């Protein structure tokens, strides 16, 4: 691992000047990290309590969910889940989850398909005002989604695509593309230019140079970018609230039901929360090692 080289030459000379008169404490035994373990474990316990609460409440019998004081021991019941997915209860959650899956997969594919070639162009090909484009792309990735919601609603309405996965897939892809371009380009920029030149020298077309030479070399970056898009589109709320009405994604479905209906069944709500949250937690843990660099704009190289 390596931190930005920028910092490394920035060791202030004052350190040794300040402390040099002290005797060198050789063989100082490393302090037992007991304090570290205690504090970190305490943080973990407290911060996981709400998650554990959500999971355990989702498997309580519906009558016990509201119990005060809380019932620590209860018969495990999957009634909440059964209600959640049964259409007899009027729950539409099954449809919401399907919509979430379709939108997440579609967005990820589309975002990667458009951003990888663009990264290639911005890295290797002659682009006028490359720096300006990169800055614009970076600024676009910081755009607050709320500011484009009104025009986008009109736009998709005119195309008759409201309440369809198409509107969400294209909108999400557009919102994620600036970051994925930035990230994948960061990885490509580290490939020695000679590789690009020798590929072309060997008679490869740009398309071959991209797919056969560059893509295999930036797989890690593409994985980080794709993971980022999966997480973002699975979690997205604002556009889903605006651009869909009956074909909700799961987060929008849950939140809209909650806001509109004060009497929402908490047990079912916990079950729905679990169904939304658990897959993405498991997914993120599974791909964790790809994530660090992606989440830090490539600032930490892993």
Partner 1 sequence: MVATTGHSPSALGLKPGRRRGYLVDRRATLLFSFPAAALLLVLIAYPLLDDVRLSLAHISPSTNESFVGVQNYEAVLSSSEFWNSVWITARYTLLSLVIELALGFGLALLMTRIVRGGGTLRTLILIPTMLTPSVAAINFRNLLNYDFGMVNWFVGLFGIAKQPWLADSGYALAALVLTDIWRSTPFFVLVLSAGLLALSPEVMDAAELDGARGWQKFVYMQVPMLMPLILVTVLFRVIDLFRTFDTVYALTNGGPGNSTAVTSMQIYNDMYVGQYTSYAATEAVVFMALTLVVSLFVLRLMRSQPD
Of residues 243-262, those binding partner 1 (CB under 8 A): 251, 254-255, 258-259
Give the residue carrying structure tokens 């609230």: 241
138 contacts partner 1 (rule: CB under 8 A): yes
Window 146-205: residues binding partner 1 (CB under 8 A)? 146-152, 154-155, 170-171, 173-175, 177-178, 181, 197-198, 200-203
**Shortest distance, CB of residue 79 to partner 1, whole angstroms?**
18
Residue keyed to tokens 């897939």: 169
Question: Does residue number 286 form part of the binding site for partner 1 (CB under 8 A)?
Answer: no
Nearest distance in Å: CB 218, partner 1: 15
In the complex, what is the shortest distance from the CB of residue 169 to partner 1, in angstroms, rounded to a whole number? 11
Asked if residue 117 binds partner 1 (CB under 8 A), the reply is yes
Task: Considering the complex, state which of residue 88 and residue 158 has its C-beta at the smaller distance from partner 1.
Answer: 158
Binding flag, residue 5, partner 1 (CB under 8 A):
yes
Q: Which stretch binds partner 1 (CB under 8 A): 72-80, 83-91, 215-223, 291-299?
A: 291-299
Q: What are phi and psi of 3, to 5 degrees?
A: -90, 160
- Give how many residues touch partner 1 by CB under 8 A: 118
Question: Considering the rule CB under 8 A, would residue 86 count as an interface residue with partner 1?
Answer: no
Q: Which is closer to partner 1, CB of 82 or CB of 174? A: 174
* Shortest CB 124 distance to partner 1, Å: 9
- Footprint (CB under 8 A) of partner 1, residues 202-231: 202-203, 206-207, 210, 231
Q: Are 85 and 274 in contact (CB under 8 A)?
A: no
Q: Is 14 in the site for partner 1 (CB under 8 A)?
A: yes
The correct pick among 74, 94, 96, 118 for binding partner 1 (CB under 8 A) is 118
Give the interface segment with partner 1, choosing from 74-82, 83-91, 131-139, 213-221 (CB under 8 A).
131-139
């Amino acid at each position: 691992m390596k931190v930005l080289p920028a910092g490394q030459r920035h060791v202030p000379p004052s350190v040794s000047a300040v402390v040099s008169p002290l005797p060198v404490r050789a063989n100082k035994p490393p302090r037992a990290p007991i304090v570290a373990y205690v504090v970190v474990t305490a943080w973990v316990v407290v911060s996981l309590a709400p998650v554990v609460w959500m999971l355990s409440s989702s498997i309580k019998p519906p009558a016990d969910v509201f119990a005060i004081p809380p019932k620590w021991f209860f018969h495990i019941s999957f009634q909440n889940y059964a209600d959640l997915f049964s259409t007899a209860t009027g729950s539409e959650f099954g449809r919401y989850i399907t919509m979430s899956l379709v939108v997440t997969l579609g967005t990820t594919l589309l975002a990667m398909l458009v951003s990888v070639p663009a990264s290639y162009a911005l890295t290797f090909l002659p682009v006028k005002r490359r720096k300006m484009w990169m800055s614009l792309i970076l600024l676009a990735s910081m755009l607050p989604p709320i500011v484009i919601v009104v025009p986008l609603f009109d736009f998709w309405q005119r195309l008759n695509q409201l309440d369809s996965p198409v509107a969400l897939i294209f909108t999400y892809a557009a919102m994620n593309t600036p970051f994925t371009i930035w990230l994948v380009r960061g990885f490509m920029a580290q490939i020695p230019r000679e590789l690009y030149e020798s590929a072309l020298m060997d008679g490869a077309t740009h398309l071959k140079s991209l797919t056969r030479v560059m893509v295999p070399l930036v797989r890690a970056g593409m994985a980080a970018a794709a993971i980022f898009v999966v997480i973002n589109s699975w979690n997205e709320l604002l556009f889903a609230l605006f651009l869909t009405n009956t074909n909700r994604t799961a987060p929008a479905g849950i939140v809209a039901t909650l806001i509109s209906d004060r009497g929402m069944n908490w047990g079912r709500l916990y079950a729905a929360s679990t169904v939304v949250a658990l897959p993405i937690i498991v997914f993120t843990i599974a791909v964790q090692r790809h994530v660090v660099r992606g989440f830090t704009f490539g600032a930490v190289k892993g």
